[in-house]
Each structure stands twice: as C-alpha cells, then as structure tokens.
Structure 1
Amino acid sequence: MEKLYSNKKVIFTLVFPGILIFLCAILFPICLSVYYGFTDYSGMGKASFIGMKNYEELFRDSAFGRSLLNSLLLAVGFIALQHPIAMIVAAVLDKLGGRGEGFFRCVYFIPNVISVAVIAYLWKFIYNPDFGLLNSLLHLFGHQEKVNFLSQDTAIWSVLLVLIWHGFGWGMLIYYTGIKNIDPTLYEASSIDGAGVGQTFLYITLPLMKPVIQINVTMAVISALKQMETVYLLTGGGPGGSTQFAANYLYQQAFKSFRYGYGNAIGVLFIIICVLVTVFMNKIFKEND
C-alpha cells in the first residue's frame, strides 16, 4: 500500500479530479469575473474593454456606498450582538445536559432549517402595520397608533433583527461544538481550585475558543457581504434604498439593469474585502510561540 501511494502516477490520478473541479468551478469563474470587471459587458453581445471606468464609478456610487455601509452594520450586529449571545447560550446548553440540552439545541437551530422565502414572508406578516403580531402586541400594551416597521426610517433595523435572528442557530452550533471539544478535566481542575462559573468561562472557555471565534467572526463578515435572499424577499432593498445590501445591489446591477461588467466589478471588490478580512482576522488571532 505504501509503495502504491508513493507512485507519482497514482498520486496524480487521485489529485487531478479535485484540481480540475477547483480550476473549472472556482478559479476560472473568478478570473472571468475579474476580466468582465474591466468591460462594459451587458450580459449579451460583445464585451468592450473600458479599463478602470467601472471601479472609478463604483467609488463615486453613493448607492453602492450605502449598501456597503449596511453590510458593515450587519457584520457589526453579527459580531457585537449575535455572537456573544450565541456563545453564552452554547455554554449554558453545555452545562444543561440531559434531554433539555438536545431539545433547546434543536429549537435554536430551527430557523436555519426553514426556507429563506418562508422566513421572509413570515416576518412580513409580523411587521405588517395593519394586522402584524408586533402591532397587535403594541396595541395590547396601550399603543394605539400603528407602526410601519418597514418604513424608510426603521426598515434597516427591522431587517437587521431578522438577519441576526435567522443566523443565530449556526453561530450557536459552532460555538457549542467548540465548547464540547474542550477537555473536561480542565473544568474539573478549575472547580477544585474554587473557580466560579464566570472565572471558568473567562479563563478557560474563552481562551480555548479562539480558533472557533476566529472562524465564526470571519464567516460573519463574509456572510454580511453575501446577504441577499432574505433582504430581496423582505424589502427588495427599499424603501428608497434604505435596506440595500452589497450583494443585493450587485444582483440588481448585473441582472436587472443589465450592467454585467459593473456587477462583476462589485464582485471583485467583494473578493478583495473578504481576503483582507481573513488576513486581518488571522493576524488578530495569531498564536504567540
């Protein structure tokens, strides 16, 4: 067997399908996207090379700037709100044990199993100013005036709430898995030394969760940039572009306005941002020797 796997032809035969898939499905589309970003291609006909004009327009485009700012706001919401709560919930579930642990783990993950379309339309009904659940609750507590949660002033916060709630299960599950992989003897030792719940979390759980936190935070930023389906079905980017997110703006430019080259320029900028975020997170969480 060792002789077989040391044969270069065997190695090439095993590795080649994976390399071919990577080249055709990932690298080639990225290179093609970079090329189209320098053209005025509309999705049909011939593409003409226009140099940096798409990127120059991109940095002057106030609508794109707003969409990028909304995506950044969502990333902050993920990191500052969703992830700390998800980590605490994961730690509590780990201590809960028994049937309760399995039950609540499933309950928190249910929104991630439900279709995005169902989630969007469900929240549309909840936010409805005439018969929505939130307005019914406000009316129950004495607030007679109807509130339109998807108006231009409040829509972005309403959408952020839906997105943070919808992605909570994934974040919690990843943190839960990370906590489960911590050696229980460390907790036993801390208990013998008289450490409280808070001290155990701060000095054992949190430091050993650094690799998991790094992955989760990186994925949160990338997910915020990629966010499209829920926003598209919930508000379509409106009203007045107040809930426009970067990926949704890319879709509208490339496939609705037939500015395929401009859409690809946005996509290339996404790739650059994602690479920079990954490098930045690697430096922050870099382990010292």
Structure 2
Amino acid sequence: MHTLHKHKWPLLFTGVSIILFVLFFLIPAILGLYYSLTDYKGFAEANFIGLANYQELFRDDSFYKALFRTFRYVIILVPSIYVISLAIALLLNSDLAKGRFLAKIIFFLPWTISGIIAGVIWKWLFGENFGFINFLLEQSGQQTIPWFTDSNAAFSVIILAAIWGGTAFNILQFTAALKNIPRSLYEAAEIDGASFWNKLRFITIPMLKPTSFMVILLASIGSMKEFALVQSLTNGGPGTDNMFIVQYIYTTGFDKMRVGYASAASMVLFVILLLLGLVQMKLGGGKNDV
C-alpha cells in the first residue's frame, strides 16, 4: 500500500497517457485497418472484401502521382527548413546580433498561426488578380505570374509558405541546443585560429547531432502528412497537379465516399511513415554521441 501511494502520481500520469493512446491512436488504427478490408462508404454496412482495396490502390496512377509529389515536397522542404532554421538560430545566438527580441517575435509569429490561416494569407499575397506580389510586379513594369494556374509556380508558393510556417519550432530547438554547447570549445578553437566555418563544421554541427536528428525526423513526418496548408492555399490545384497524399485520402474518403479505399491508402501511408522513422533512427538515432 505504501509503495502504491508512493508511486501514485507516476501511475496516474502514465495511466492517462495510455488511455489517450488507446482512444486516439490504437482504436482508430484498428478501425482503419478493418475498414481498409471492406467496401465501407461511411454509411450503411461494411462488407468484407479482403485485399481488393489494396490491389486497386496499387494500380491507381492518381495514388502514385500524389505519393511521389509528396516525396518531392519532403525532399525539397526538409533540407530547406533545416538550413534556414539553423542559420537563423545561429544569428539569434550570436553576440553581435542586435534587436534579437524583435527578431524572435517576427520569426516565431508564424508558429502561432494555423495551417488554414497561413494558406489564406499566402493566397492573398500571391493571388493572380488581387495578390500583393503581382501588384508589385505590375507596378515595377514586370509581367505578372500565374501563381495558381501554373503547377510549378503553385508548388513553389506551397514550399515558401511551408518554410515560413515550419521554421519557428525548429529555430527554438536549435537556439536551446546552441546555448548548451560549452563556450570553452569555441574559445579553444579561436586560440588555434579556427575560422567561423571550421567552428561550425567541427564543433557546432557535431554537437547538434541529437537536435538535428529530431528536427529532420519531425519535419519529414510532418511534411508527409501536410494537409491544411495545401488545402487552403491551392486545394490541390491547378486540377490535381498539387494534390498530396493526405489530400488524396481526404478526397477519396469524404468527397467520393469511399472510406474503405481511403483507409487502405491511410494504412500504406502509415507503413511509409513507420519505415521513414525507423530508417532515420537507424541512421541518426544511434549516433548522437559526440
């Protein structure tokens, strides 16, 4: 009884976490797996059809198009966010930086804005007939750009908006990690005549390995699941040229009322995210020692 009383708070918090995990992850995952094996339409009865949804999915060109477009998005976005977040964190951590408080407010403001609102803001900025960017181009005598009727231009806007909204959290992580690097390492390097780039390469980057691993992992998973920003910004357009995998699942499940088929696509995405996490943990998770 004494032992139970002693550990009641750890047991309480652990129990709450387990309940939340079961309610919001395990049960939905089991239901998703079950529905992926049925012809469920969101109403009426779900009839078991085995692997038919998966067989159709792997023959669906639209699925592969959305999946590879998502991979392209991740490959471009994650390195961009990593480099920009680290660069800004280094600037904010520099002793020579001025106005750091104001800069932090500017850089962290996008973190407080939801993906839907961010998409609306960027749509106003890059609107073809009413956008501020095209207005500036027109005033300077340049030709306006069809931002949302050209698939590559629309994709570029999505990347810019995602970088704008995705750097703040990573800047926070890098800033905290930089403060934990012993100053004595930099002082010793300065005595030896090391340049900024040598200190960055041989001290800063190695010491940031655990943080870098976490930033890349979370950014990769978050990018693979991108939905709100793209939905509000381009709605997957023009046409379906910028439809990502989560949008494909949403459209299939809710617009076409094929919940079973969409659940199969969700299970494939789950496996991809799981493999992505395992690969990144294998490559970087076990090498965090400096």
Q: What is the TM-score normalised by the length of structure 2?
A: 0.90
Deviations 1:144-199 (A, max 9, x none): x3321111332222222222222122222222222122222222222222222111
- Output the amino acid matched with 1:253: T
Conservation of the 8 A alpha-carbon contact between 1:55 and 1:265: yes
SS state of the match for residue 243, structure 1? coil
Q: Deviation at 1:117?
A: 3.0
Residues 209, 288 of structure 2: 8 Å contact kept: no
Percentage of pairs with the same residue: 30
Which residue of the partner structure matches residue 131 of structure 1? 130
Question: SS of the residue aligned with 2:251?
Answer: helix
User: How big is the shift at 1:241?
Assistant: 0.3
Structure-2 residue corresponding to 1:252: 251
Name whichever of 233-242 and 14-23 sits farther off.
14-23
One-letter code of the match for 1:56?
Q
The runs of 5 or more residues in structure 2 that have no matched partner are none
Matches within 5 A, 1:75-224: 75-96=74-95, 100-143=99-142, 145-153=143-151, 154-224=153-223
Residue matched to 1:282: 281
TM-score scaled by structure 1? 0.90
Paired residues in the alignment total: 287
Q: Distance in 1 between matches of 2:14 and 2:162?
A: 39
Whole-Å separation in 2 of the counterparts to 1:14 and 1:125: 44
RMSD of aligned alpha carbons: 2.4
The CA deviation at 1:244 is 0.3
CA drift of 1:33 comes to 1.0
Secondary structure at the aligned position of 2:37 is classed as coil
Aligned counterparts of 1:146 and 1:100: Cα–Cα separation in 2: 35
8 Å contact 1:77–1:164 — kept in the other structure? no
Letter of the 1:174 counterpart: Q
Q: Secondary structure at the match of 1:83?
A: helix
* Equivalent position SS for 1:60: coil
Aligned residue type for 2:47: S
- The answer to whether the 8 A contact 1:34-1:264 is kept is yes
- 1:47: Cα distance to partner? 0.8
The secondary structure found in structure 2 opposite 1:239 is coil
Structure 1 pair 5/183, CA: closer, same or farther in 2 (3 Å)? Answer: farther
* Amino acid of the structure 2 residue aligned with 1:91: L
Alpha-carbon deviation of 1:36? 1.0
Residues 237 and 142 from structure 1, CA distance in 2 versus in 1: closer, same or farther, beyond 3 angstroms?
A: same
Query: 2:224 matched to 1:225?
Result: yes
Distance 1:136 1:13 in 2: 58
